[in-house]
Amino acid sequence: MSPPPELSVVVPMYDEVAVVDRLVDAVVAELTSLGRSFELICVDDGSRDGTGERLEERAATLPVLVPLRLSRNFGKEAAMAAGLAAARGAAVILMDADLQHPPDLLPQMLARWDEGYDVVNAVKQDRGREGLLYGLAARLFNRLVGRAVDADLRRSSDYKLLDRQVVDVLNACEERNRFFRGLVAWLGFSVAEVPFVVAERAGGRTKWSTSQLVRYTISTLVSFSSLPLRAIAWLGFLTTAFALLLSIQTLWNWARGAAVDGFTTTILAILIMGGAILVCLGVIAAYLAAIYDEIKARPLFVVRSPRRSRAREAPTQTIQSSPAPSDSPAPGTSPGGR
CA 299, 304, 306 angle in degrees (round to 5)?
160
Count of alpha carbons within 13 angstroms of residue 325, beta-carbon side: 23
Q: Give Dmax over CA atoms of the chain in angstroms.
A: 93
Of 32, 104, 140, 208, the one binding ligand UDP (CB under 6 A) is 208
**What is the Cα 308 distance to its own chain's centre?**
32
52 binding ligand UDP? (CB under 6 A): no
Pick out residues in 54-73 that bind ligand UDP (CB under 6 A): 73
Picking from 24, 326, 329, 10, the residue whose alpha carbon sits closest to that of residue 161 is 10
- Smallest gap from residue 36 Cβ to ligand UDP (A): 23
Of 76, 124, 178, 304, the one binding ligand UDP (CB under 6 A) is 76
207 binding ligand UDP? (CB under 6 A): yes
Which DSSP category does 94 fall into? Answer: E
Of 79, 91, 145, 162, the one binding ligand UDP (CB under 6 A) is 79
- Applying CB under 6 A, the site for ligand UDP has a residue count of 16
Other C-beta atoms closer than 10 Å to the C-beta of 211 total 8
Of 7, 10, 14, 40, the one binding ligand UDP (CB under 6 A) is 14
Pick out residues in 91-110 that bind ligand UDP (CB under 6 A): 96-98, 100
d(CA 135, CA 165): 34
Of 5, 52, 67, 75, the one binding ligand UDP (CB under 6 A) is 75
Compare residues 104 and 313 and give the one whose CB is closer to Mg ion.
104
Compare residues 14 and 113 and give the one whose CB is closer to ligand UDP.
14
Of 30, 39, 45, 56, the one binding ligand UDP (CB under 6 A) is 45
13 binding ligand UDP? (CB under 6 A): yes
- Smallest gap from residue 11 Cβ to ligand UDP (A): 6
Question: What are the start-end ranges of the E strands in 197-334?
Answer: 301-304, 316-319
**What is the Cα 187 distance to its own chain's centre?**
15
Q: With contacts defined by CB under 6 A, name the span among 31-39, 56-64, 202-210, 287-295 that binds ligand UDP.
A: 202-210
Question: What are the start-end ranges of the E strands in the chain?
Answer: 7-13, 38-44, 65-69, 91-94, 119-124, 160-163, 191-196, 301-304, 316-319
Which residue ranges make up the site for ligand UDP (CB under 6 A)?
Answer: 12-14, 16, 45, 73, 75-76, 79, 96-98, 100, 206-208
